[in-house]
Structure 1
């Protein structure tokens, strides 16, 4: 059972003032906080920078083997967080040791095969197509109309699924991540979509990630291919979508980035990096399980306990930050937003996410340079998830502009993304 003073991992403060919430947690409990998940399920939230570095670096003591979890007898089949913590999934995300490396050896080269120039071209074209849908109206809602669609559509091009499947996949992935009543059915939809993709690419392989995975010389089962594709798609779409939305929110609400909204682009990279520190899309990541009794951050951790990686909390640790309040220091890239250690987000995946996010922001600012919020900043609402931090809506207005048309792509009067800034 949870400790009497355990912190419920829910509530509006994870969305309204997480920095103050983490400071309170740290003051009360230290760097490792007892928390309660839905259904009175106990866990530990690691919010100390050094402690998180230790947990993610020691894979023998703090393992990804969720089969060790001492709470499995209490977990019902319809537990809403089950898709995020599932001991029966032989995928790159849930395997350990040699089995994990077998998946890495298949997925890594498939991602490395993505052509950077083609990726930028696709991201620009899709961004233009999405903006064409609302640029003449003078107003838009940039999360639902843009940030939640761009990553999944670009990922579709490199993974090999059709554009028209993108919106429903985005809906299912977001519902799964929010852990609501439709999380289980959304997970089933995602599984069915990836199963169709594997079957299609077996019959008609192409120059895409899925086909390269299927062509890998070491054999995998269809279930393993499907689960790895689920992991790639969800991990590629969700944080990238929120990275775009959170960066746009920062640039629309902070005077330091006002120049970017009048045509300049020098601040885009800085805004994106600051978001990875102060407003990271993945606020909490599940998880690690202790292989034996141990002590961490002054807490006694029992064998089989779950540890949640408090990425955002660790970013605000005053013991390692040069900032007077903890958190972001300009030019510092030592954040945990892509995790750390053996299970860190693969470098090719990080590059893909950055290209999609940066291209999406730059194209939007090029096309609609006078974009401004349509509501007061304090009225903006965050997504209902303690694990992911993103915007529910980002309504804006701007001067109506003409469409550029589907055939223009990156030639619509601007240099390709990734060029001089």
Structure 2
């Protein structure tokens, strides 16, 4: 007969540990659903008031996690991989089989052979290949290509006098730029925009979207073995670290998705700030704020990623007054940390050029391509405002709406109006430059209408946009 005491002891070894009281009995807020999607910033402040810098939360499927709200606590987590690892295989929910392949969070949390899921020497190997390949980008070449892409997009709506800048500009420009940098055919861009955003949302179709992206990248790696070029994919394949094809493919996915989402949101949020924030417009027109200052202000106030899943505790530890157990999931609260009064006692005071925000995370896993994203955003906005100098918001600011998910919060639309005009010929759009006499470009838009009069509208000379553009071109 089985000894009851022995049976109880065996069960204690195999049964999962009891859920933290803070996560049960209604003690944890959901990072999905109505409240999180309608007003994530309000939710963060409520949780901060109730729990302090670290709050118990529930992810999709009511999986328990900890949301890191404090600035110092976020830095602590990102800088101590010995306690808080990026290896998702440590996640208790993963070990217990609760995160199935069909789970909405599977595409962004299932362990993969990429630098964001590794620490130590393995992370250094993978991250080194990414850093070295990004460093080979020609920044001037990026700006020329982004200008060309931006002009193509403006060509599509400039004759109507109205546009919706989220779907017609901010979302498409980063993907057009990234497909070129990765060496992909441009025709993939439109569908990749939808798939990339769907993956970040963690929707029911996120798994299918991930499969589509993976198949495209698998074909790209095979193509670049046969036809190498001066692009990010080829450089990863040829890197001395000797990445396998699967490692190359997964890093391409990582870079493509992260660069798209962050840059699309950065463009949209910066344009919204320019069009609606009186203080910003006055400062910029008066010469007190440069565009880099303005972008950093946006990265403080409305970071492209509002949270990042995640880190996983390697041991029982304490953080922000909470008892964290080994295997617990942690969610970096980037937006909440940027609003922490520890670093920003007065949220209404503009921050000029300060890059101490956590918009791109921190520590060893800080985003390696953030300067490329800044270049794409700045160059694209410059090209847009040069073409449409009298751009104004077409609705009341109060009518603008956002859509939020676990990791991202973005404008659903940004309707604008401007003086309608026909698309100019390619040579007029490119303008004179130091290498214009020797550099030949293909037509920016094969279907461009005949060039309009070269006379500049009078509004340009008096508009505050001129000051904006002058500062912008100093980026």
Short-chain TM bin: over 0.9
- Pair 1:83 & 2:107 matched: yes
- The residue number in structure 2 matching 1:68 is 90
Q: Name the CA distance, whole Å, in 1 between partners of 2:425 and 2:285.
A: 23
Three-state SS of the structure 2 residue aligned to 1:214 is helix
Q: Name the CA distance, whole Å, in 2 between partners of 1:261 and 1:289.
A: 43
Per the normalisation by structure 2, the TM-score is 0.83
- The residue number in structure 2 matching 1:202 is 225
- The residue number in structure 2 matching 1:395 is 415
Once the two structures are superposed, residues 4-41 of structure 1 have per-residue CA deviations (whole angstroms, 9 ceiling, x without a partner) of: 31011024554554443322211101000100111110
Give the alignment of 1:16-415 within 5 angstroms: 16-72=38-94, 73=96, 74-87=98-111, 89-258=112-281, 267-323=290-346, 325=347, 329-346=351-368, 349-406=369-426, 408-411=428-431
1:409 shift after superposition: 5.0
Once the two structures are superposed, residues 148-171 of structure 1 have per-residue CA deviations (whole angstroms, 9 ceiling, x without a partner) of: 000011111111001111111111
CA contact (8 A) 2:53 2:320 kept: yes
1:263 shift after superposition: 12
1:332 shift after superposition: 2.2
Q: Name the CA distance, whole Å, in 1 between partners of 2:61 and 2:343.
A: 34
Once the two structures are superposed, residues 244-267 of structure 1 have per-residue CA deviations (whole angstroms, 9 ceiling, x without a partner) of: 001111111111233699899955
Structure 1 or 2, whichever has the larger Rg, is 2
Once the two structures are superposed, residues 153-201 of structure 1 have per-residue CA deviations (whole angstroms, 9 ceiling, x without a partner) of: 1111111001111111111100111111210000000101111111111
Q: Name the CA distance, whole Å, in 1 between partners of 2:34 and 2:353.
A: 31
CA contact (8 A) 1:128 1:406 kept: no
> Mean alpha-carbon deviation: is it higher for 172-181 or for 371-380?
371-380
Q: Name the CA distance, whole Å, in 1 between partners of 2:58 and 2:271.
A: 32
1:406 shift after superposition: 4.2
Q: Name the CA distance, whole Å, in 2 between partners of 1:146 and 1:257.
A: 22
Q: Name the CA distance, whole Å, in 1 between partners of 2:279 and 2:354.
A: 18
Three-state SS of the structure 2 residue aligned to 1:307 is strand
> Mean alpha-carbon deviation: is it higher for 309-318 or for 386-395?
386-395
Count residues in correspondence.
Answer: 417
Q: Name the CA distance, whole Å, in 1 between partners of 2:164 and 2:288.
A: 22
| Residues 319 and 262 of structure 1, relative CA distance in 2, 3 Å threshold | closer
| Residues 90 and 373 of structure 1, relative CA distance in 2, 3 Å threshold | same
Unaligned runs of 5+ in 2: 1-18, 433-453, 455-465
| Residues 153 and 159 of structure 1, relative CA distance in 2, 3 Å threshold | same
Once the two structures are superposed, residues 221-274 of structure 1 have per-residue CA deviations (whole angstroms, 9 ceiling, x without a partner) of: 211110010001111111000000011111111112336998999553332111
CA contact (8 A) 2:44 2:336 kept: yes
Q: Name the CA distance, whole Å, in 1 between partners of 2:428 and 2:250.
A: 36
Unaligned runs of 5+ in 1: none
| Residues 272 and 420 of structure 1, relative CA distance in 2, 3 Å threshold | closer
CA contact (8 A) 2:150 2:383 kept: yes
Q: Name the CA distance, whole Å, in 1 between partners of 2:83 and 2:143.
A: 41
Per the normalisation by structure 1, the TM-score is 0.93
Q: Name the CA distance, whole Å, in 1 between partners of 2:303 and 2:38.
A: 14
- Highest relative contact order (Cα 8 Å, sep 6+), 1 or 2? 1
- The residue number in structure 1 matching 2:24 is 3
CA contact (8 A) 1:124 1:409 kept: no
CA contact (8 A) 1:159 1:209 kept: yes
Once the two structures are superposed, residues 119-159 of structure 1 have per-residue CA deviations (whole angstroms, 9 ceiling, x without a partner) of: 01011111111101101110011011100000011111111
| Residues 233 and 33 of structure 1, relative CA distance in 2, 3 Å threshold | same
CA contact (8 A) 1:19 1:313 kept: yes
1:308 shift after superposition: 0.3
Three-state SS of the structure 1 residue aligned to 2:198 is helix
| Residues 259 and 203 of structure 1, relative CA distance in 2, 3 Å threshold | farther
CA contact (8 A) 2:237 2:245 kept: no
Three-state SS of the structure 2 residue aligned to 1:217 is coil
Three-state SS of the structure 1 residue aligned to 2:197 is helix
